[in-house]
Amino acid sequence: MPARFAELLTDEQVVRVHEASLEILENVGMLVRNEEARARFAKHGCLVDTQTQIVKFPRAIVEHFRQAIPPTFTFHGRDPQYDRTIPGDGPLTTTSSSAPDVLDPQTGNVRRARSDDIARIAYLVNELPGYDLFSISVTADDAPPGQYSLSRFYPALKHCLKPVRGSAPDMDEVDNILKLGALIAGSEAAFWERPFITFQYCALISPLTMDVESTEKLMRLTERGIPSYGVVAPNAGVSAPFTLTGTLALANAEFLAQAALEQMVRAGKPIIYEPLPTVADMRTGAYAPGAIETGIILMGCAQMARFYNVPSGGFSGLSNAKTNDAQSGFETGMSTAVTVLAGADLLNMGGLLDALMVFDFAKAVIDNEIALMLKQTGRGLQFSEENLALDVIAETGPGGMFLDKLHTIQRMRATALLPEIADRAPRNQWEAEGMPDSQTQAMRRVREILTRDNPAVFSPDVDARIRAEFEDLVAGDAVALDITTD
């Protein structure tokens, strides 16, 4: 772990951003469209204008409730070996969420994503060591009515032992997904002992607005103690001021308002400070999550989260690239690198192209490698007296060689990351292999995984119980790729 995280703000500036956020909440306030939420705010001393639906927050109230946020957040997996708690186990990396389209792994064409894609992606994430959790990457176009989210969670949980995170449009769907969880765990009690499903919601619409239905979900999920947290996503220049500092102050205010409501409903609810701050490309207004400014603002967010002693994360490493080219690599690589150096505990980074529109299997494999590089970065130099290696330096001496030392042999598989996608072969060998680029290498890995059977799939008994419970449920199978296609 780094001795000091990269910090763009001085301690005084952090306090000033915090103060500025309090000023925003106290003087400008939030438009709260959900009546029950307004009532809760009023009950705890906020000033509510019933005409305009504007809620203003006296600073003492914000200060009081933000101190109730716990310092850690735990994700559970179907298999406990994948349980992760941040900050301790961080930096964690996950796929990014809810793209409507997928690049078909056989044809290479963009099409609507389906539940069988989710099954394949879940299997891929299960096998790729860079991912700590699976945030359900795409929507399911084949979902039967009333099973919009069940059609996503079922294939995801069926094929992945790691923690699964996703969203649901309403509480009926949440209840179905929890029922699914209990069927998988064996009983409700067993599920609640280690709830391996986490929900995410977007109750906040920048600037400074809380909507009706998502806020409803926030309150219902929170009061029932269902693992869940919200994301704020200001877009600088459009839904936030066009300064990075101003966007940070606004995002921070929105986070604090959301956290206040969560803690009012259930004091001590664990959450993650996990925004998706972006800039607009002012030439056209285009949404630019791939911009480096996303990473820069997230560095500020990580610092604010540390000030509040709350686990931090963010949607870092998104890309506007349409295909797996240099742009997709440098956008994902640069933003995540700065975010991880700033001490963010969770990076939502993998698998998506075209500004969260398209999931690409090859991109997910490449991002797995970037994730492993980030984890390596998070470990840092691993300073210790032993790692100064003074004995072996003395033993080898001037002009000697370290290659054949026992010291080296003991560490040769662990010290440096051994990449699968980055090519380090000599040119002639690379040419002999058909000059594969990283896209080709990544697709090889995709095929290698997705043509095998997945041992993580639940037993036929469990599956039969689930299918008996939910009529018309999607098959949720990770249909094996046709290996003859290239």
Residues that bind another protein (CB under 8 A): 33, 98-101, 110, 112, 139, 148, 167, 169, 202, 205, 209, 211-213, 237-239, 280, 282-285, 287, 355-357
Q: 279 - beta bridge partners?
A: 236, 288
SS (H, E, C) the chain: CCCCCCCCCCHHHHHHHHHHHHHHHHHHCEEECCHHHHHHHHHCCCEEECCCCEEECCHHHHHHHHCCCCCCEEECCCCHHHCEEECCCCCEEEECCCECEEECCCCCCEEECCHHHHHHHHHHHHHCCCCCEEECCECCCCCCCCCCCHHHHHHHHHHCCCCEEECCCCHHHHHHHHHHHHHHHCCHHHHHHCCCEEEEECCEECCCEECCHHHHHHHHHHHCCCCEEECCCCEECCCECCCHHHHHHHHHHHHHHHHHHHHHHCCCCCCCECCCCEEEECCCCEEECCCHHHHHHHHHHHHHHHHHCCCEEECCCCCCCCCCCHHHHHHHHHHHHHHHHCCCCEEEEECEECCCCEEEHHHHHHHHHHHHHHHHHHHCCCCCCHHHCHHHHHHHCCCCCCCCCHHHHHHCCCCCCCCCCCCCCCHHHHHHCCCCCHHHHHHHHHHHHHCCCCCCCCCHHHHHHHHHHCCCCCCCCCCCCCCCCC
Q: Which is nearer to another protein, 136 or 457 (CB)?
A: 136
Q: Minimum distance from CB of 288 to another protein (Å)?
A: 12
Q: Minimum distance from CB of 466 to another protein (Å)?
A: 24
Q: Minimum distance from CB of 100 to another protein (Å)?
A: 4
Q: Minimum distance from CB of 202 to another protein (Å)?
A: 8
Q: Minimum distance from CB of 124 to another protein (Å)?
A: 21
Q: Which is nearer to another protein, 97 or 368 (CB)?
A: 97
Q: Which is nearer to another protein, 132 or 211 (CB)?
A: 211
Q: Which is nearer to another protein, 169 or 225 (CB)?
A: 169
Q: Minimum distance from CB of 136 to another protein (Å)?
A: 12
Q: Which is nearer to another protein, 274 or 354 (CB)?
A: 354
Q: Which is nearer to another protein, 141 or 325 (CB)?
A: 141
Q: Minimum distance from CB of 145 to another protein (Å)?
A: 10
Q: Minimum distance from CB of 167 to another protein (Å)?
A: 7
Q: Which is nearer to another protein, 168 or 374 (CB)?
A: 168
Q: Which is nearer to another protein, 51 or 484 (CB)?
A: 51
Q: Which is nearer to another protein, 99 or 442 (CB)?
A: 99
Q: Minimum distance from CB of 292 to another protein (Å)?
A: 19
